[in-house]
Structures are given as structure tokens and as C-alpha cells.
């Protein structure tokens, strides 16, 4: 049974060459930006029928997410950020063994580093879309500013998905 599930997962990853991996906690105010982004993008995905795109969400990045990067042509990490300029920041990622490497939650750069450690294949090009958040307290609702930033990030994502190629994405870097 596990072998069959693993084979189905590998087939799905081969078919879905672009992975959009969004993280965040919907119970912590603007930290919900990642999951909300993914939810809205799923609705857009149904209308646009983008081929080869897989949407994946989680509360935080873990070592196991390095496995999700296998057989990808392109990866986009999406998360809320208190430090990026509003409404969002789009950047290219490089692998790094940073301070998150030994914690229970990893940075996107640390996930890329783990991928390099466990794979003999080249790392897929990876980018990050950090969406500006203001409030992250437990039980908070999404702030008005974050809602506006989410709209801008979704419009930008539509632009990314219209031409999901490294060169096109690189030309849009913040």
C-alpha cells in the first residue's frame, strides 16, 4: 500500500512541475496570509486551468518538505512577513544552513539546503513571495492592510503563472 502511494505521489510530482508551497497559521492574525493566498489561488486555478501547478499548504516548513521539491522545474514559497516592504516582496532563494536548520520550523533557504543534502539531482529554481503582515497574535483576525496586501500578491501571482519560467520570474524580482 505504501509503495503504491509513493508511486502515485511521484507521478503527481512529475506532472506538476511548478510547486507553490504556502505556510502560515490561520489562527494567528496576518499569519493566515499564506493559507488564504493558497485558498484564493486554488479558486483562480480552477478558472484559469493552469497546467502543471501543484498547490501545497502547511503551518510551517519542515525537513520533509524537501521531498516535495523533487522533480520540480520551479518552486514558489509563500508566507506572511513582518519585515518585508508592503504589499509584498518577491525574491530568488538560495540554499542556506541558517539558524532555523535545527529548529522545529525551517526557512525556505534551509529547506533548499536539506534538499541538496539528500538529493543527487539539481535543485529546482526557487523563489519566495513574502506578503506583508501587521498583526500575528493568536486569535486576531486578518488586518485591513494584510487583506489589501493579499490582493496585490494574488494579482502578482497571476502574472507569475501566466509565464511560469525562471527567466520571466527573474525579470520581476524586487
CB-based contact 37:153 (threshold 8 Å)? yes
Better-predicted residue by pLDDT, 11 or 27: 27
> What's the rounded Cα separation, in Å, for the pair 162 and 155?
11
CB-based contact 143:30 (threshold 8 Å)? yes
Give per-residue pLDDT as tens, 136-168.
999 999 999 999 999 999 999 999 999 999 999
Residue 13 pLDDT greater than 50, yes or no: no
What's the rounded mean pLDDT across residues 96-101?
69
CATH number at residue 146: 3.40.50.1450
DSSP 1: -
Domain count, the chain: 1
Containing structural domain, residue 87: 2-170
If 0-12 CB within 10 Å is exposed, 13-18 middle and 19+ buried, where does residue 19 land?
buried
Give per-residue pLDDT as tens, 116-129.
999 988 999 999 99
Amino acid at each position: 500500500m505504501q509503495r503504491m502511494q509513493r508511486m502515485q505521489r511521484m507521478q503527481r510530482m512529475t506532472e506538476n512541475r511548478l510547486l507553490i508551497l504556502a505556510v502560515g497559521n490561520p489562527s494567528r492574525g496576518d499569519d493566515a496570509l499564506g493559507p488564504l493566498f493558497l485558498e484564493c489561488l486554488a479558486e483562480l486555478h480552477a478558472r484559469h486551468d493552469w497546467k502543471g501547478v501543484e498547490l501545497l499548504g502547511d503551518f510551517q516548513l519542515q525537513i520533509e518538505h524537501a521531498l516535495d521539491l523533487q522533480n520540480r522545474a520551479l518552486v514558489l514559497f509563500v508566507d506572511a512577513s513582518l519585515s518585508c516592504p508592503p504589499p509584498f516582496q518577491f525574491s530568488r532563494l538560495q540554499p542556506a544552513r541558517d539558524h532555523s536548520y535545527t529548529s522545529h520550523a525551517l526557512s525556505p533557504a534551509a529547506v533548499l539546503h536539506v534538499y541538496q543534502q539528500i538529493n543527487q539531482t539539481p535543485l529546482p529554481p526557487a523563489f519566495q513571495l513574502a506578503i506583508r503582515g501587521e498583526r500575528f497574535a493568536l486569535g486576531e483576525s486578518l488586518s485591513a492592510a494584510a487583506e489589501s496586501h493579499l490582493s496585490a500578491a494574488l494579482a502578482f501571482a497571476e502574472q507569475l503563472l501566466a509565464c511560469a519560467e525562471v527567466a520571466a520570474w527573474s525579470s520581476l524580482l524586487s
